[in-house]
């Protein structure tokens, strides 16, 4: 443990009842001279609320869980996890969906602006980098340029091009470019029903990819230089809907670890949660990176010490 | 996705929305963690969550949809 004259101050920007945030706060305050404040952006209507002014005559403050006023300029690090929550339980007295959306959108915008203008410490990770890296096209291009093996991929809403792609790759999957939390969709095989439905293909772009066969899925947590991977075994194409599956710690080949770190550097990130798949021939295939993806469940399923590892990483970044 | 529609985007052809299966072992681990952290709220009774959705997991599309740019 490094010793510091004053307690290191860290804020987690997230939504209500984020177990990741609470687990890391407890671990951090138990092991390090640090104070972690949780900023639940969907509950900013609680006192003292958010305030900011362009001339700085009014002190910028954000409300933390427990009612503390957090001054962004006093923070050493911000773990920028989540900014909005369309499913929040906050403000139940507001029932008009448009009003609820306004509260979500305007609170997010004000919180982000207050942090971008006032906070001078370490971002984990900077919003610009996180949002850009979240884009599947950007990350696919980065992974391709860095030599990772990708499934053959087409992002399109052209029925002719999609059918030609599927003809060339007889086993093909379709998945969302972004998706919506109101109706999450699993990755599914492309079937005849879709290929005969021009309107469905044309109405918006989707990701069409060569299906990677096999049942060995890998979830990789990269926190700084540290890489912690778990092997999830599932016959399902998309393991996310059923987490009642075998999961064990997994050691990646050094070349894959290095390649994933290189992707993060290229995307301007210090952390990332990757999804890979191992083919029957033992080759690692890139699927995606989630800049602030969920990782806590991997500790629960595979026993990897992720809370401890992330806490070490976050404290290290905050005190650099 | 229960609304009648004449055209549905490609990702919804063949599925309504992601169907979540129960994950009792993970849910039990989460309950133990919550108890260890001395959190007072019961995360497994969040009204907006699917009954089979875990709070630390990825099943609700938290990875992809939850932090879009304002």
Kindly state the tokens that stand for A88. 């929040």
A175–B11: do the CB atoms touch at under 8 Å?
yes
The whole-number pLDDT of residue A5 equals 58
Task: Indicate if the pLDDT at residue A58 is higher than 60.
Answer: yes
Indicate the DSSP class of residue A227.
E
> If you write DSSP's letter for every residue of A154-199 in order, what string do you get?
EEE--HHHHHHHHHHSSSEEEE-SS--TTS----EE--HHHHT-HH
**How far does CA B44 lie from the centroid of its chain?**
11
Task: Indicate if the pLDDT at residue A13 is higher than 80.
Answer: yes
Task: Indicate if the pLDDT at residue A76 is higher than 90.
Answer: yes
The whole-number pLDDT of residue B47 equals 55
Q: Shortest Cα distance from A9 to chain B (angstroms)?
A: 20
A204–B10: do the CB atoms touch at under 8 Å?
yes
Q: Where residue B68 falls among pLDDT bands split at 50, 70, 90? A: low
Task: Indicate if the pLDDT at residue B27 is higher than 60.
Answer: yes
Q: Chain B within 8 Å of A109 (Cβ-Cβ)? A: yes
The percentage of residues in chain A with a pLDDT greater than 90, rounded to a whole number, is 86
Task: Indicate if the pLDDT at residue A75 is higher than 70.
Answer: yes
Q: Using a CB-CB distance cutoff of 8 angstroms, which residues of chain A are in contact with residue B30? A: 19, 300
Cα A89 from Cα B14, distance rounded (Å): 31
pLDDT tens by residue, A274-298? 999 999 999 999 999 999 999 999 9
pLDDT tens by residue, A245-269? 999 999 999 999 999 999 999 999 9
Domain A153-210 listed as CATH 3.30.70: no
Please compute Rg for chain A using Cα positions.
21
Closest CA to B10 of A137, A275, A163: A163
Phi then psi dihedrals of residue A44, to 5 deg: -70, -10
Sketch the domain layout of chain A as residue ranges: 8-124, 131-148+213-303, 153-210
Task: Indicate if the pLDDT at residue A1 is higher than 50.
Answer: no
Chain B nearest-CA residue for A187: B11
Domain A131-148+213-303 listed as CATH 3.10.129.10: no
pLDDT tens by residue, A104-145? 999 999 999 999 999 999 999 999 999 999 999 999 999 999
Name, in order, each residue with C-beta under 8 angstroms of A64's C-beta and a sequence gap of 6 or more. A11, A37, A38, A39, A70
Find the mean pLDDT for residues A182-197: 90
Q: Which residues pair with A277 in a beta bridge?
A: A217, A285
B62–A294: do the CB atoms touch at under 8 Å?
yes
* Euclidean distance between the first and the last CA atom of chain B, given in angstroms as a whole number: 24
Task: Indicate if the pLDDT at residue B62 is higher than 70.
Answer: no
Indicate the DSSP class of residue B8.
-
Side-chain-facing half-sphere of A299: CA atoms under 13 Å: 19
Task: Indicate if the pLDDT at residue B59 is higher than 60.
Answer: no
Find the mean pLDDT for residues A206-217: 96
The whole-number pLDDT of residue B40 equals 66
Chain B nearest-CA residue for A158: B10
Q: How far is CA A105 from CA A33, A60, A177, B68, in A?
A: 35, 19, 21, 10
ipTM of the complex: 0.86
Cα B52 from Cα B68, distance rounded (Å): 24
Task: Indicate if the pLDDT at residue B2 is higher than 70.
Answer: no
What 3-state class would DSSP assign to A172?
A: strand
Q: Using a CB-CB distance cutoff of 8 angstroms, which residues of chain A are in contact with residue B65? A: 178-181, 184
Find the mean pLDDT for residues A28-51: 94
Q: Shortest Cα distance from A318 to chain B (angstroms)?
A: 22
Name, in order, each residue with C-beta under 8 angstroms of A54's C-beta and a sequence gap of 6 or more. none
Partner-chain residue, chosen from A81, A84, A193, that has the shortest CB–CB distance to B13: A193
A191–B14: do the CB atoms touch at under 8 Å?
yes
The whole-number pLDDT of residue B65 equals 45
**Is residue A206 within 8 Å of A176, Cβ to Cβ?**
yes
* Euclidean distance between the first and the last CA atom of chain A, given in angstroms as a whole number: 13
Q: What is the largest CA-CA distance in chain B?
A: 50
Kindly state the tokens that stand for A73. 């300029």
Task: Indicate if the pLDDT at residue B49 is higher than 70.
Answer: no
Count chain A–chain B contacts defined by CB atoms under 8 A.
Answer: 168
> If you write DSSP's letter for every residue of A5-57 in order, what string do you get?
SS-EEEEEEE-TT-HHHHHHHHHHHHHSSEEEEEEEGGGTTSTT--B--TTSS
A19–B11: do the CB atoms touch at under 8 Å?
no
Q: Using a CB-CB distance cutoff of 8 angstroms, which residues of chain B are in contact with residue A175? A: 11
**Scanning the structure block, which residue is given the tokens 């969920």?**
A294
Cα angle for residues A34, A37, A42 (degrees, 5° grid): 160
What 3-state class would DSSP assign to A143?
A: helix
3.30.1490, 1.10.10, 3.40.50, 3.30.559: which CATH number matches A8-124? 3.40.50
The whole-number pLDDT of residue B43 equals 55
Q: How far is CA A110 from CA A59, A61, A78, in A?
A: 14, 11, 16
A191–B67: do the CB atoms touch at under 8 Å?
no
Task: Indicate if the pLDDT at residue B1 is higher than 50.
Answer: no
Q: How far is CA A83 from CA A46, A72, B54, in A?
A: 16, 15, 20
Partner-chain residue, chosen from A194, A240, A301, that has the shortest CB–CB distance to B14: A194
Average pLDDT score over chain A: 94
Q: Using a CB-CB distance cutoff of 8 angstroms, which residues of chain B are in contact with residue A191? A: 13-14
| pLDDT: which is higher, A144 or B55 | A144
């Amino acid at each position: 443990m490094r010793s510091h004259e004053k307690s290191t101050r860290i804020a987690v920007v997230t939504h209500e009842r984020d177990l990741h945030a609470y687990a890391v706060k407890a671990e951090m305050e138990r092991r390090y001279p640090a104070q972690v404040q949780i900023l639940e952006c969907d509950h900013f209507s609680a006192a003292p609320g958010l305030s900011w002014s362009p001339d700085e005559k009014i002190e910028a403050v954000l409300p933390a869980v427990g009612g503390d006023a957090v001054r962004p300029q006093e923070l050493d690090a911000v773990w920028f996890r989540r900014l909005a929550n369309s499913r929040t339980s906050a403000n139940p007295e507001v029932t008009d969906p448009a009003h609820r959306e306004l509260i979500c959108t305007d609170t997010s915008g004000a919180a982000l602006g207050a942090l971008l203008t006032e906070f001078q410490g370490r971002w984990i990770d900077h919003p610009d980098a996180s949002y850009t890296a979240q884009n599947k096209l950007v990350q696919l291009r980065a992974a391709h340029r860095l030599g990772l093996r990708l499934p053959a991929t087409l992002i399109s809403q052209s029925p002719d091009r999609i059918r030609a792609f599927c003809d060339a790759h007889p086993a093909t999957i379709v998945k969302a470019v972004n998706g919506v939390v109101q109706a999450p969709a699993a990755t599914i095989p492309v079937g005849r029903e879709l290929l005969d439905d021009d309107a469905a293909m044309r109405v918006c772009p989707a990701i069409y990819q060569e299906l990677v066969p096999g049942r060995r899925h890998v979830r990789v947590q990269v926190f700084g230089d540290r890489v912690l991977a778990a092997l999830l075994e599932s016959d399902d194409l998309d393991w996310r809907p059923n987490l009642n599956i075998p999961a064990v710690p997994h050691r990646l080949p050094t070349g894959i670890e290095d390649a994933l770190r290189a992707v993060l550097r290229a995307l301007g990130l210090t952390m990332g949660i990757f999804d890979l798949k191992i083919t029957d021939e033992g080759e690692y295939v890139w699927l995606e990176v989630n800049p602030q993806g969920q990782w806590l469940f991997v500790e629960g399923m595979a026993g990897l010490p992720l809370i401890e590892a992330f806490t070490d990483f976050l404290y290290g970044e905050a005190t650099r | 996705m229960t609304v009648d529609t004449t055209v549905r985007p490609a990702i919804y052809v063949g599925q309504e929305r992601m169907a979540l299966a129960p994950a009792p072992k993970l849910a039990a681990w989460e309950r133990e963690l919550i108890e260890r952290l001395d959190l007072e709220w019961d995360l497994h009774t969040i009204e907006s969550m699917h009954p089979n959705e875990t709070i630390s997991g990825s099943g609700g599309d938290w990875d992809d949809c939850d932090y879009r740019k304002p």
